[in-house]
Structure 1
Amino acid sequence: MTFAVSVGGRRVECAAGQTLLDACLRAGVWMPNSCNQGTCGTCKLTVLSGEVDHGASPLDTLTVEERGAGLALACQARPLGDVTVGGGAEGRTTHPLRDLSATVLEVADIARDTRRVLLGLAEPLAFEAGQYVELVVPGSGARRQYSLANTADEDKVLELHVRRVPGGVATDGWLFAGLAAGDTVSATGPLGDFHLPPETEDDGGPMVLIGGGTGLAPLVGIARTALRRQPGRQVLLYHGVRGAADLYDLERLGELAEEHRGFEFVPVLSEEPDPAYRGGFPTDAFVEDVGSARGWSGWLCGPPPMVEAGVKAFKRRRMAPRHIHREKFTPADALG
């Protein structure tokens, strides 16, 4: 059984039990999305006609009052019949969401409790640098999100940076336990709105990117994409971690700095001082380094407290709110 979903002037077929977001993205119809777990509220939309099942929508993200007013979370809501919703953009498209079967090419320890996982695809995946994929954890049915460190032309070998979550179903139970080259992995992607605007809409202005832990991953792809578009662009990339043992990709980012005079990589250690690196928090380092961020764009990816501190730091330096982009990393095992 399928239902018709009308959004942004387009009609999408949605199977019974399928979420509104999944149906739209698979059809290449854009809908705002970020966490796809019901926790961020990015995909909140208005049901203009028809009814939906709110599923597992958390009450702190979608209140009883909001439900009564016709609001729904597209990543959780499933239609009970034909529906019309507001929340998409007229005529805007996206790379279609796909189910993927990938082969593990490499699993390598790159920092303390951090691994790089390379996944090979039989067919290229169209995506934007900064987006992510969901992996299906074997035997559990659980799904976990991991950002891509790739640029869009690196579309047949996906690079993921994974940090171990103690007791995590995906990390301790799989990615750090027995995943090996040659294994087959089921995934879905691309997902998320954390990416550069199209080249025709990119003004080429200065950028600052701040990543906490493996929040560095999407920023690597975004920074490399921005510098490929405008090789002389000013790009500051801060990586905040606890100690030097948590740093990685220093060689790759050092080479990027040698190739592009406007690029600077700044590692910042918060808990374990080392004379070779700056101490404190990356958001504070940015405030120390940049007197004014008018005309800049800002990119934040990492734990929620770091992202929230980054937003405040950017605004303190007069960055326009519309130019602040954020992606919060919340371990799925901590959501329940």
Structure 2
Amino acid sequence: MVEQFAFTVDVKSVANKQIPCHPEQKMLDAFLRRGEWIPNSCNQGTCGTCKVKVLSGTVAHPPTPDSVLSYQEQEEGFVLTCQSVPTSDVVIAVPAADKPSSTGHLLRDMTATVLQMQTTATDTLTISVGIDEPLEFSAGQYVELAIPGTNDVRQYSMANPPSQSNVLEFHIRRQPGGLATDAWIFDSLTAGDAINLTGPWGDFVYDDDDDETGMILLAGGTGLAPLKSIALHALTVNPQREIHLYHGVRRSADLYDVEFWESLARNYSGVRYVPCVSREHWSGRTGYVGDAMLADFDSCRNYSGYLCGPPAMVDAGVKAFKRKRMSARRIRREKYTPAPALINA
């Protein structure tokens, strides 16, 4: 069958690559399916990571908040590739600071089979799914799960390392009224069910340039998932790696994977696990992960930092790292926010 393309995107700042787009295909999707890397993070039009400048031609896209692209940027022709569909042949430029050093991994559509669902904490499931063909991805990336009977998707990070690419692990917390969680995953999804995935997405990934530094990982809630993947991958590269994992939750009942991290710390001399609870008194550390890190380190100059969790936690963690003199280029972060409730809670 001959593929039908509507328009071509000429990417001038990436070795003059020409990327064909199917009708109604968003530019970022077209790039990644052909192995042409463009910076991307949320894939929802809220972070601004995938912005490019349209030099000629036209694209269709929904309104972009000025908090994502400033009015000046929009007037200068900047758009978000995750939201923009070409309506003519287009020439774009990727901002110089964001030019890729590699092509990344091919974006794929997959059908997976649910292998196991386990309740691991209050309102939190760990789900394992099997795929027929291994998925190539970088530690820290995510896939989109298609919600049956809708046109909606939700993003979930892989918690398994890239070396385990036939079975993917996800950490999913129930959101009251959530279309994906309350109305599907926690309601009716069961082992043996088929689910549709697309991935990998995202540039919150383990950086090979960090191989010679210690790592400090700050996780909020199920932001633990990509950091688990990153930590396990780092240990395959260097089993002696110094890794400090701080996991923050509101209550001790929200903690999960405790035995896994305690076992990892016993088996690897460089691994340290610090669970933190912010809204109740318990036998361990009380407070926020950023504050716990500040109390434990005199300096973070020789460390790299990875943060994933709610925006307030990530912002506070970044400030804490900088306060302890961690280089800004070694701080990598990913913020997540729950999708709005779409059903009655």
Q: TM-score range by the shorter chain?
A: over 0.9
Matched with 2:280 is 272
**1:222 maps onto 2:230 in alignment:** yes
Contact 1:148/1:221 (8 A) holds in 2: yes
**What secondary structure does 2:340 align onto?**
helix
Are residue 76 (structure 1) and residue 83 (structure 2) matched? yes
Decide whether aligned partners of structure 1 residues 117 and 90 sit closer, same or farther in structure 2, where only a CA change above 3 A counts.
Answer: closer
For structure 1, the residue ranges without an aligned partner over 5 or more in a row are none
Amino acid at match of 1:125: L
Verify: 1:28 aligned to 2:21, yes or no: no
1:181 match: 191
* Amino acid in the other structure paired with 2:336: F
**By how many angstroms is 1:65 displaced?**
3.2
Q: How does 1:241-260 map to 2 (within 5 A)?
A: 241-260=249-268
Contact 2:181 2:187 in 1 (8 A): yes
2:112 corresponds to which of 98, 102, 113: 102
Map of 1:49 onto structure 2? 56
> 3-state DSSP class of the match of 1:333?
coil
Partner of 1:145: 155
Per the alignment, residue 238 of structure 1 pairs with: 246
Superimposed CA distance per residue, residues 216-271 of structure 1 (whole angstroms, 9 cap, x where no aligned partner): 00101101111221111211000000111111111111111112111101000000
- The alignment status of 1:2 with 2:12, answered yes or no, reads no
1:288 and 2:295 aligned: yes
TM-score (norm 1): 0.95
Mapped to 2, the partners of 1:333 and 1:108 lie a distance apart of 25
| One-letter code aligned to 1:110 | T
Equivalent residue for 1:157, pick from 167, 187, 190: 167
State the alpha-carbon separation in 2 of the partners of residues 92 and 45 from structure 1. 18
- Cα distance in 2 between the residues matched to 1:227 and 1:153: 12
Map Cα deviations across residues 83-119 of structure 1 (whole Å, 9 max, x no partner): 1212263663010000010011111110000001111
Structure 2 CA distance for aligned equivalents of residues 209 and 42 of structure 1: 22
Aligned to 1:207: 215
Change (3 A) 1:91 1:34: closer
Paired amino acid for 1:104: V
1:206 and 1:296 in contact (8 A); partners too: yes
CA distance in 1 between counterparts of 2:18 and 2:210 reads: 30
Q: Is 1:117 the counterpart of 2:121 in the alignment?
A: no
Distance 1:144 1:155 in 2: 20
Partner of 2:304: 297
Residue 3 of structure 1 aligns to which amino acid in structure 2?
Answer: F
- Spell out structure 1 runs of 4+ moving beyond 6 A: none
- CA shift, 1:63, in A, is 3.9
Quick one: distance in 1 between partners of 2:156 and 2:100? Answer: 29
Q: Residue 179 of structure 2 aligns with which residue? A: 169
C-alpha distance in 2 between matches for 1:295 and 1:6:
41
- Provide closer, same or farther for how the CA distance between residues 90 and 164 of structure 1 changes in structure 2, counting only shifts above 3 A: closer
Query: 1:90/1:323 Cα in 2 relative to 1: closer, same or farther (>3 Å)?
Result: closer
RMSD, matched Cα: 1.5
Cα pair 1:55 1:78 within 8 Å, conserved: no
> Within the alignment, does 1:319 sit opposite 2:307 as a pair?
no
Paired with 1:295 and 1:105, the residues of 2 have a C-alpha distance of 41
TM superposition shift of 1:54: 2.1
* Matching residue within 66, 72, 75 for 1:65: 72
Query: For 2:64 and 2:23, how far apart are their aligned partners in 1?
Result: 17
Q: Distance in 1 between matches of 2:99 and 2:67?
A: 26
Range that drifts further, 66-75 or 303-312? 66-75
Q: Which moved more, 1:116-125 or 1:55-64?
A: 55-64
Q: Which amino acid aligns with 1:146?
A: Y
**Amino acid aligned to 2:226:** P
CA shift for structure 1 position 60? 3.1
Q: How many residues align?
A: 332
Task: Write the distance in 2 (CA, Å) between the matches of 1:146 and 1:284.
Answer: 27
Deviation (angstroms), 1:15: 1.4
Aligned residues of 1:49 and 1:83 also touching (Cα < 8 A): yes
Query: One-letter code of the match for 1:274?
Result: W
SS in 2 for 1:286: helix
Contact 2:176 2:341 in 1 (8 A): no
Report percent identity of matched pairs: 51
CA contact (8 A) 2:37 2:100 kept: no
